[in-house]
Amino acid sequence: MSALTAEDKYRNFIPDESLKYLEKLFSEFDKDAIIEVYTRKGPHDEYNEFTLNLCHALATLTGKIKIFEYSLDSDMASKRGVDTTPTVLISPESYDIRFLGAPAGEEGRALIEALNLASRGTSIISDSTKEIMSKLDSKRHIKIFSSPTCPYCPGQAINAFKAAVVSPDKVSAWCISTLENSDLAEKYKVGSVPHTDFNNEISFIGLEAEEKFMTQLLFLKPLDDILKKQREIKKETGQKKNETDIDLVIIGSGPAGMSAGIYAKRSGLSCVILDKQGVGGQIALTPKVENYPGFPNVQGFDLVEILSTHAREYTEIKQFVEVLDIQYGERIKVVTDETTYHAKGILLATGVKVRMLGVPGEEKFYGHGVSYCATCDGNFYRGGKVLVIGGGNTAMTDALHLKKLGVETTIVHRGDSFRGEKVLQDAVAREEIEILWNCVVSEVLGEDQVVGARLKNTKDGSEFERETDGLFVAIGQTPNTVLAQKIGVKLCDDGFIEVDTSQRTNIERVYAAGDVTGGVRQIITATGQGAAAALTAFEDFNRFYADENKIPKNIW
């Protein structure tokens, strides 16, 4: 006879390394969080069992989680509008937050945060989200299509859950697992996750910063369209721009920009941080951060909230503000929709973006055969064949991951040897993954779906076609240097901004920090560079403007 109680068995369902974190989190719960699980016997029994075990295991850790089980044929299922198995509802009397499919793997993180939000409510939601959602005057139905292996899906689902908690009478938020709901995924043409749908009117691929997510949810439009419309309205109404004198304009609100804002203000400089996207830069899209000193394990959006709260104590961060023009002079003119800043100097902390192939067919099939995340989208290609493009650590890691999923995998690399670590090269050889050396993609082929790729040999220029169901692109990142190039900032051979040890560029009073400068692209180096740039600017401004003859007469 077993000595383990039912509670012991459920508790053992959770890994030891997660128990302390969960117990601490649950100790901060306020009101009860209710879980309703709906199941029906059949082909999804394995998913049903996992879901019930996980939910019961969580309930053993705190008295604040209550679990109720219902059959899909029950009156309660009919009342709740539940028709798939398994389905998990979170505090359904208060919110329409639900999981269609087992919250397994990475999706489990979204379940934990859904319970946290259901118990603690708006007290753990940012003021900016509350402000944006306060303007919502009609219903919103959010569907987040996810995969257990996708590290970015929980962040997008949590964005949706926050919207539902702030506006429970207007917002429903569903996290839909593509594994058990392939019919829904096909209906909504899901080819990459996270795939977000608002009201069956507009959809997005990928994880988005929280404020950007909320703004697009409010307007039911992509952010670029929102900003464009706002510019048109201002032009039509003849609104005059504000003219503002300022010491330092910081462009970019990632770790480098926020750190610079803190140090600039503490040095006595007036400054503002401008960002076209939401606060946080790449860190806002990072599922888990484990290498930032003082935070052994923190989710990216949580670290963003900590950094941005700190930065806002010192300086204003203006989100969704696009810099339209920069004109260099003794005062540097920075032009936005609403304001023209006359600055002593500017700091470029504009970050990086995923490097694309730039070939015909790539944009057309993005999210539907062309992907930049193997862990997110690999499950879509089980039993199929794919090409992995690249020759570094990421490309080899992606290839190994796909091969283990049962995908026929081929690496396409422009060179004749890999750049990545020896251990990964050995693993690729051991798995007998095919490699097409000295080849690049010149076109992605297909009409309604990807059927192949045209490849070019980099040595003899010959071209040939290769059948494939999809392409995974892993060729690194490219810096955002459009503004830098506009004013003549010198770039390195690899396209990143060239700076000295004090973050100065080749142009006086123009500085750069963070990932846009290349090198070791880590959060800790970005914050250090941002701080250094602000202190350098303080020293330079004192020297440059000490000579009264250099003071622009039309400003002072």
Which residues are the active-site residues?
A: 373, 376-377
Residues 334 and 343 sit within 8 Å (Cβ to Cβ): yes
The per-residue b/e assignment along 429-452, b for 16 or more CB within 10 angstroms, e otherwise, is eeeebebbbebbbebbbbeeebeb
- Measured CA to CA in angstroms, residue 247 lies from 250, 504, 553 at distances of 10, 16, 16
Half-sphere exposure of 280 (CA within 13 A, CB side): 22
Residues in Cβ contact with 79 at an 8 Å cutoff, skipping those fewer than 6 apart: none
Half-sphere exposure of 492 (CA within 13 A, CB side): 13
Q: Is 211 helix (H, G, I), strand (E, B) or coil?
A: helix
196: which 2 tokens? 């977000």
354: which 2 tokens? 């995923």
Q: How many angstroms separate the CA atoms of 175 and 279, rounded?
A: 24
Residues 555 and 244 sit within 8 Å (Cβ to Cβ): no
Q: How many angstroms separate the CA atoms of 344 and 218, rounded?
A: 37
Q: How many angstroms separate the CA atoms of 305 and 530, rounded?
A: 18
Angle between helices 107-120 and 16-27 (to 10 degrees): 20
Residues in Cβ contact with 78 at an 8 Å cutoff, skipping those fewer than 6 apart: none
Q: How many angstroms separate the CA atoms of 365 and 12, rounded?
A: 44
